[in-house]
Structure 1
């Protein structure tokens, strides 16, 4: 979100203080940034250009969480002031505000967190700084060697392979569930242990949720994100699609192109199966080739991440599909109550259990008038000390596999390391190309229409096939 994620609010330096205070915060727009001057005058001070203010279009989870202090401790000179700025709530809105700023050649912001789902189109248009021309060879090699490789690829130019953006944090979904409700339905610790690395099938999962929900005080069974927005196309539907053996473009090898030369297979029978599973979760009409019990409310067709997060944390759902950050939120809300948190990978279909690759990258505005200072922030961001602080304060996974042992030792995340590891090893990227922004709009609209029973799964799949084929032919 992902892809395609909500604006998560994390609010303190220590994990315990953060967990106690996690909640929703309103968003402010890019217009509030103040990292540079529109007349192009340099904000840096000193002969080497190091100093002044660096604004980072980040998110509410970075505000009042000690991020600037941690960056200074990681090596940013004291002459540089770092301002973390809140973005809009949805990833698509943040993308639009950044595009508006770039088109206007605004010097604000200096740095921006870009969704891995739409970074490449910005890179391909020349709307971000080529870091290989700005940073040392040693630093670039370090990032490429140490970073999560699937994240590295989403920050590289699709033709030249140059690195434009460094991974800020990867993300992937899991199923978070109430163990107490499953216990009441007859499930045991043995089941919970098995699910950590061997998730149930969609049929087994929905049957279990239905049993747990039958006599529970929770209002809903399984909640997830089905609204007509970018997260449905890139993430939630992508997971249904891939688990059932379907694909956007034939195979994972074609996700990044070549545009116009790859087969469009979103209208195939197996791809349609993915839509049918999602529809059956809500309506239980027996459309999918596997038995699915209806365990999701119609309202999921209008929900995104903050909606399901608040519902689950309040105890009003048996299970939810959400990103890794939501584990910390639930752990906090469940503390001191009778609710017990469990985590498992997503259910599996005939093609296995697949998890959408989410996450965000740190990129530089080409019109920043304080690039030298911004580069100091980028270098510090990649340090182990800052990435540990980011995890402690905001529950964002480190983008370096070498730091996974730090996650394993975490009081909050350590107990769920096995399902997190399974999910991280079974990721499905979105087809991020220059035409994906227009294609994802089609996917989200058509799948959402099927969820709302405005179209049949077959009608939605056919419409996607025809419209995406047309885009491929025109762009190719």
Structure 2
């Protein structure tokens, strides 16, 4: 990957330094309580032999996994060798990441034995590790599994599932790199051509150019909406959408990238900088146009007012239903929208646009096209019964089969967290997701993780609240960022 690649550039040391001072006060600030949070079980190695009896394990996931359960289980059996006597029940949890975090906290604090496995967001796995609420896989699984993860998987992903000593607490399930999806058929009507689409697939546009192209297409095709994204007051705004809008303007929460993971209380807070404020001004211009008092000249109004309450699925539905020109979302939605009965090959995908080129920001590697680094881990409930832990080991083994990973990419757009599998001829042959591998690769090369520390849950909430208030025109961008600066300073000082 190129030198400016951020997707694999964060060392484990940086993540671990961010969780180094885990006093009671720091833990209490993570998500509802300190101590070990009721975590049970031991670090004794699990019997790795497949159980003899019929066993059902529950995997807490989301509706996408639950809906694709039959296909996933089929590939786990046929390609991964999962024994027939092990059945898997995928539980459809909330699609909102913060809701699932709260649910897991309640389950683990109560010492419940089920679910056996929990799908955890890479952005908030570390607080569960710090509270010792999930199983230490380095202690309990065979090294043949854990060594493969630490040696072959994306470094950024692995780091978000490791404890202070480097022990592994989660198996990366998939990586996530957001992109912009758009309607080629509509843009052709507005005068754009296949040569434009080919360029856009790997060469990020400027935000101003993007907004004008979407506006032209809206007007030429009488399409109701232009560009949908996620502007609700929730984790997805602070961890992802705003990181992209802000980062592509050369702005940052904590200055240079090296400060993202600490030390908490001893790093600059830079949300009140002009680059960050301009990002919000652009977002508001997208919604309200030049009528907004802080509008940026030259940018078009392309987003519906309702975007301030959109999360992933509400933002996807207008696009999938044919009522929008473009959509910012995760790869799972590419599989939906590129299906032959939706848009098929008329779906285009491009990297996130930018305003400030990479290298021209005052914060070093911040800037240019910026995709939030998303992704999820599979973690083991330490309170699960021994036989279900045995069955979980068989699932983890099956997941390490290349063909299983590729089939999951094909089934649901779940990107393998293994660099050697992403850019291959086999991947490009997958239908329909294989058509968009080049765009996803660019997004991955420009991925920026959220600043995961013990105080991130508190800071994330404050960020989402203030940015959303600015988007709703309840505060000016400068006032919202001034208030956020004060809130973040207070959180950092008290950590």
What TM-score do you get using the length of structure 1 for normalisation?
0.86
- Name the CA distance, whole Å, in 2 between partners of 1:45 and 1:424: 37
Any residues of structure 2 matched to 1:445-464 within 5 Å, and which? 445-464=465-484
- Give how far 1:161 is off: 1.9
Cα RMSD of the aligned pairs, angstroms, is 2.4
- Tell me: CA distance 1:79–1:298, structure 2 relative to 1, closer, same or farther (3 Å): same
Q: Pick from 291, 295, 301 the counterpart of residue 294 of structure 1.
A: 301
Report the CA distance between 1:286 and its aligned residue: 7.3
Q: Whole-Å Cα distance in 2 between the matches of residues 336 and 247 of structure 1?
A: 36
SS at match of 1:58: strand
SS at match of 1:169: strand
The residue correspondences of 1:134-283 to structure 2 (distance < 5 A) are: 134-157=140-163, 159-283=164-288
In structure 2, what is the Cα distance between the partners aligned to 1:300 and 1:344? Answer: 20
Tell whether the 8 Å contact from 2:202 to 2:438 is kept in structure 1 after alignment. Answer: yes
Question: After superposition, what is the alpha-carbon deviation per residue over 1:117-166, rounded to whole angstroms, capped at 9, x for unaligned?
Answer: 11111111111111110112232121112212211111112x22221111
SS in 1 for 2:56: strand
- In the alignment, the residues of structure 1 paired with residue 154 and residue 253 of structure 2 have an alpha-carbon distance, to the nearest angstrom, of 24
The answer to whether the 8 A contact 1:111-1:362 is kept is: yes
Matched positions, count: 433
The match for 2:410 among 392, 414, 422 is 392
* C-alpha spacing 1:334/1:352, structure 2 compared with 1 (3 Å): farther
Note the C-alpha offset of 1:375.
1.9
Question: The residue matched to 1:86 in structure 2 has which SS?
Answer: strand
* C-alpha separation in 2, matches of 1:48 and 1:294: 58
Contact 1:331–1:412, Cα closer than 8 Å, also in 2: yes
Q: Give the conservation status (yes or no) of the 8 Å contact 2:410–2:433.
A: no
Task: Tell me how far 1:219 sits from its aligned partner.
Answer: 0.7
1:360 pairs with one of 353, 373, 376: 376
Where 2:141 maps in the other structure, the secondary structure is: coil
2: CA distance between counterparts of 1:45 and 1:134? 9
Matched, 1:444 2:464: yes
Residue 61 (structure 1) aligned to one of 64, 74, 83: 64
Q: Distance in 1 between matches of 2:298 and 2:247?
A: 17
Runs (5+) with no aligned partner, structure 1: 1-37, 39-43
Structure 1 residues 228-260: Cα deviation after superposition (integer angstroms, max 9, x where no partner):
111011010110111111111112222222211
Which secondary structure state, in structure 2, belongs to the residue aligned with residue 215 of structure 1? helix
Matches within 5 A, 1:1-16: none
Q: Secondary structure at the match of 1:471?
A: helix
Counterparts of residues 325-364 of structure 1 (less than 5 Å): 325-332=332-339, 335=342, 340-350=346-356, 351-364=367-380
* Residue pair 1:226, 1:232 contacting (<8 A) in 2 also: yes
**In the alignment, what sits opposite 1:75?**
81
Shift of 1:46: 12
- The whole-number CA distance in structure 2 between the counterparts of 1:288 and 1:420 is 31
Task: Between 278-287 and 190-199, report the one with greater CA deviation.
Answer: 278-287
SS in 2 for 1:66: helix
Could you say what secondary structure the match of 1:253 adopts?
Answer: helix
**Contact 1:250–1:265 under 8 Å retained in 2:** yes
Aligned to 1:378: 396
CA deviations on 1:171-215 (whole Å, 9 max, x unpaired) are 111111111221111111221111111121011110111111112
Cα deviation, residue 314, structure 1:
1.1
For structure 2, list consecutive stretches of 5 or more residues without a partner in the other structure.
Answer: 1-39, 41-45, 357-366
How do 1:9-158 residues align onto structure 2 when only pairs under 5 Å count?
51=53, 52-63=55-66, 64-73=69-78, 74-157=80-163
Mapped contact 2:232–2:468 kept (Cα < 8 A): yes
Q: TM-score, normalised by structure 2?
A: 0.83
